[in-house]
Amino acid sequence: MARARIGDDIGQAALATVRAVTADGGDAAASVDRSTLALAVRYSLQLLAERAPGGTLEVRVPPFAAVQCVEGPKHTRGTPPNVIETDASTWLALATGRLSWADARASGRVHASGQRAELDGLLPVV
């Protein structure tokens, strides 16, 4: 069953809280309560999936959420061939434009596998 869509009002409010806390370079996961952090992650992943619908790439931000996105061949069982995984703080920095995709990859803050495990051009989502 599909997860209910997060409303823009509460999703944007969670992201605003994260942005305010991380404006001076703070760590979102250490500075924001867990429910707000989870909401911000889920909402920003929802925006990514809406921007690039499809099932070729799975973006994981454990333990909060994962989405499939990007047009192309879809996997249906097992581990997908194209996976991006990162922590909540890194994802929110990427989603809000505080961290570039290239810098996240170069620093090892993002684990990406597969030929289509690429988010350059899709970020930031907010």
Q: What is the pLDDT of residues 106-120, one digit of tens each?
A: 999 999 999 999 999
Is there a contact between 28 and 18 (Cβ–Cβ < 8 Å)? yes
Contact between residue 123 and residue 95 where contact means Cβ atoms under 8 Å apart: yes
What's the rounded mean pLDDT across residues 31-35? 95
User: Is 48:59 a contact under the CB 8 Å cutoff?
Assistant: yes
> CA-CA distance, 10 to 106, in Å (whole number)?
33
pLDDT score recorded for residue 2? 64
Alpha-carbon radius of gyration of the chain: 14
Q: What is the pTM of this model?
A: 0.93
